[in-house]
Structure 1
Amino acid sequence: MNSRQMFLDQLRAGLKGLPRSVVEDILSEYTAHFDDGHTAGRSDSAIASALGDPARLARELRAEAGLRRWEDERSLSNALGAIVGVLGLAALDMLVVLPVLMTVASVDIAFFIAGGCICLAGSLLLPLALVNLIPGFEGDWLQGVLISLGMASGGASVVAVCVLFTLGIINLLVRYGRAHYRLIVRATPS
């Protein structure tokens, strides 16, 4: 088996899981690299070594595909795909980034859960306040209603801020991945 075919087979194996059309586009682009190299008088092994490790290249291309899906359609699955792609691309950087990311995600999830619980508690207290059944507020039903409405709206606000914060973190990870990808592309000889 020649260097060209080995390179393309390893690249195809690394791109498993991406849509077939995307894989075919990528493979045709790299086949064109080999064809252009042949036109310039270079050998398959020289072209393959200039393109770099196909497994690493596949990780970079998978990360880029995940980032594009996230930018095209903002959904939970695309966000997870973008995060996984960036994490796979920046394996060495994760020794520093992953602990920070896990801490930020844990705090975000904790605030999200707390906000949801406060909102739920306020919503459950509202009917009790309307019929004067909240202990300590037997004579003043309006005060109980206002406190329960305040809890529900405050909890909902915390949840909304957590969602916005999560989207901001995902966008930051996408930018980080793009910057990392651009640095690798510049460093890869052509």
Structure 2
Amino acid sequence: MTRREFMDEMGSLLSELPDKERLDILADYTEHFLMGIQEGKNEHEIAEALGSPKLLARELLAGYRINQAQSNASVGNMTRAIVATVSLGFFNLIFVLGPFLALIGVLISCYCVAVTLLAAPLGMVVQYGIPTISQERLFLLFGSLASVGLGGMLIIGLLRLTRWMYRQFLRYLQFNVQMIRGK
């Protein structure tokens, strides 16, 4: 593979990156080729030493997605980082994507429980109306307070758990990319 072919392939594979980042990366690889030529190597040897442009581009995209997820915390950025990392190997498909989807499912169900606990007092009033007997009123009042309190505490705990899990997944993805790069 010649320098031109290598650079064209890298450029097209990195088209998702912003222009500045893509051009910086391409400039780095051009510099690798120029230094190799100065050392007396030909373009084919340099391209072979650098490795497959597809694998290099996947690693670079995974690193970019992880950095993006760190700087701008969102479900979309985390999902893109997971997908970019999973594309680096079959191992990740089993050990990253499966647990990630399972944990997301558990989190969603816990959020549903918390919202249900918050909304339960309204449902009781709508279904049964306001009780006429004072004991039933007290039961409704204290049951409603307990339900709203549990729901509120659950929401607060889930928000903290979600932030913690987000950071842990990012750490694992960074570790994974470093392992693949051999660092």
TM-score (norm: length of structure 1): 0.81
| Cα distance in 2 between the residues matched to 1:90 and 1:28 | 27
Find the counterpart in structure 2 of residue 184 from structure 1: 180
- Render the CA deviation track for 1:104-156: whole Å, top value 9, x for unaligned: 2222211111111221223x258x49xx9356x84143442232132123223
Aligned length: 181
Q: Is the 8 A contact 1:86 1:174 kept in 2?
A: no
Counterpart code for 1:147: G
In structure 2, C-alpha distance between the alignment counterparts of 1:95 and 1:39, rounded to whole Å: 44
Distance in 2, Cα, partners of 1:10 & 1:101? 32
Over 3 Å counting, the alpha-carbon distance change for 1:84 and 1:156 in structure 2 is farther
Question: Structure 1 CA distance, aligned partners of 2:90 and 2:162?
Answer: 22
Q: Where does 1:50-89 land on structure 2 (aligned, <5 Å)? A: 50-89=49-88
Instruction: Output the amino acid matched with 1:84.
Output: V
Q: 1:138 to 1:51 in 2, by over 3 A?
A: farther
CA-atom RMSD in angstroms: 2.5
Say whether 1:157 aligns with 2:147: no
2:136 counterpart of 1:133: no
Query: Percent sequence identity over matched residues?
Result: 27
Structure 1 residue runs of 5 or longer lacking an equivalent are: none
Counterparts in 2 of 1:11-160, with a 5 A limit?
A: 11-122=10-121, 124=122, 128=125, 133-134=129-130, 138-140=133-135, 141-160=137-156
Task: Please give the alpha-carbon distance, in whole angstroms, between the structure 1 residues aligned to 2:28 and 2:35.
Answer: 11
Alignment-mate amino acid for residue 20 of structure 1? D
From 132, 154, 167, the counterpart of 2:163: 167
My pick for the range that moved more, 13-22 or 50-59, is: 13-22
Scaled by the length of structure 2, what TM-score is found?
0.84
| 3-state SS of 2:44 partner | helix
Structure 2 unaligned regions, length at least 5:
none
The letter for the 2-side match of 1:146 is: F
